Amino acid sequence: MPATVLVLVETINDYLPILEHQGFHLILAPTPTERSQAISTYGGKIEAVLTRGPLGLHAEEIAALPNLKIICVIGAGYEQVDLQAASDRGIRVTNGAGVNASSVADHAMALLLALVRDIPRADSAVRRGEWPKIMRPSLAGKRLGILGLGAVGMAIAKRAANGFDMSVSYHNRQVRNDVSYDFCPTPTELARASDFLMICTPGGLGTQHLINKQALDALGPHGFIVNIARASVIVTADLISALEHRRIAGAALDVFDAEPQVPDALKALNNVILTPHVAGLTPEATQGTVELVGQNLLAFFSNRPLLTPVELPPAIRRAMR
């Protein structure tokens, strides 16, 4: 009998036949209402869940799925998946680290170019019949700081260094001995060493609020910040204040604290570019992530090693009553 997979992701329908052709039975539940109904109606049949980081899978939902065996996360981040609850039940978790790195890096560089060169405002002015001659900085020769030098950060670094002649620095949990880029020991020191600061680190408690007022002040009034990672990495109130008072030059954001809600204060600013969490949404990346999910599912249900397992915390043994 084919395994039943609950699909919570809303952007991959065109590629779900990949999983169906592999023999999996899919239950689609992309909205909160459908999600709740699917878990209530089919909870006993669901053996796998396909989700993404911000959608996650919560402890009470895991408890309502008695036959759940594996959670597959689209993309690298899994910050809203309750890893402790999964570990306690012996449920495996996988992610899609690295699959969409090229697409995310492309979007990050597009945001940086549009922000620094002020493309949206120039476009709007021409459409209004205006012809402003606004002088904006160049990217060539500037200093790029990358917070989180994983697959996405590396893809951005290569584009910046090789395509735009930028110098690259980074901050990571650990120094990477396989790169020649300069390591900065703290996020604030990275910001101080940067003209442009790219946020590429995963979300979650380990990276929450790494960028705060101190780091933004270190970036300075001529500095720009781009976030294609998770909004939780930046203190949003501190960012808004820095933008409003021009303590930094501008920001481009693809991620927000309460998606799809975006603070009105950000919408009102003319030194901000906003996109709706689409950095990784390309046909190539989406197909690749779904294919990886299929490979992980086939491996799991065939008792073979997972391709991209997520490390789980130790299970908590609860005393018997």
Q: Each residue of 243-286: pLDDT tens digit?
A: 999 999 999 999 999 999 999 999 999 999 999 999 999 999 99
pLDDT exceeds 90 at position 77: no
Query: Same domain for 160 and 92?
Result: no
In a domain, 119, yes or no: yes
Question: Which residue numbers are catalytic?
Answer: 230, 259, 277
pLDDT exceeds 90 at position 205: no
Q: Backbone phi, then psi, for 192, in 5-degree steps?
A: -65, -30
In a domain, 319, yes or no: no
pLDDT exceeds 50 at position 319: no
DSSP line for 86-153: HHHHT-EEE--TTTTHHHHHHHHHHHHHHHHTTHHHHHHHHHTT---------STTPEEEEE--SHHH
Query: Same domain for 237 and 269?
Result: yes
Q: Each residue of 53-64: pLDDT tens digit?
A: 989 999 999 999
Query: Same domain for 169 and 133?
Result: yes
Question: What would the mean pLDDT of 284-311 be, rounded to a whole number?
Answer: 96
Query: Same domain for 192 and 146?
Result: yes
Contact 300, 68 (CB under 8 A): no
> What average pLDDT does the structure give for the chain?
95
Query: Same domain for 81 and 131?
Result: no
pLDDT exceeds 50 at position 321: no
Question: What would the mean pLDDT of 38-53 be, rounded to a whole number?
Answer: 97
In angstroms, rounded to a whole number, what is the distance separating the alpha carbons of residues 158 and 149?
11
**pLDDT at position 6:** 98
Give me the number of domains the chain comprises.
Answer: 2
Q: What percentage of residues in the chain have a pLDDT greater than 70?
A: 98
Query: Same domain for 117 and 215?
Result: yes
Query: Same domain for 155 and 226?
Result: yes
**pLDDT at position 317:** 66
In a domain, 317, yes or no: no
In a domain, 8, yes or no: yes
Q: State whether residue 289 is helix, strand or coil.
A: helix
Query: Same domain for 89 and 108?
Result: no
Query: Same domain for 110 and 60?
Result: no
Query: Same domain for 90 and 127?
Result: no
pLDDT exceeds 50 at position 149: yes
pLDDT exceeds 70 at position 219: yes
For strands 70-74 and 46-52, give the pairing. parallel
**pLDDT at position 177:** 95
In a domain, 225, yes or no: yes
**pLDDT at position 1:** 57
pLDDT exceeds 60 at position 320: no
Contact 227, 248 (CB under 8 A): no
Question: What would the mean pLDDT of 57-73 be, rounded to a whole number?
Answer: 98
Its pTM stands at 0.92
**pLDDT at position 318:** 57
Query: Same domain for 198 and 141?
Result: yes
In a domain, 320, yes or no: no
**In this structure, which amino acid lies at residue 4?**
T
pLDDT exceeds 80 at position 76: yes
In a domain, 312, yes or no: no
**pLDDT at position 204:** 85
Task: Assign residue 111 the CATH number of its domain.
Answer: 3.40.50.720
Query: Same domain for 210 and 292?
Result: no
**pLDDT at position 203:** 87
Contact 112, 145 (CB under 8 A): no
Domain that holds residue 61: 4-99+283-301
In a domain, 308, yes or no: no
Last residue of a domain, one of 274, 291, 313: 274
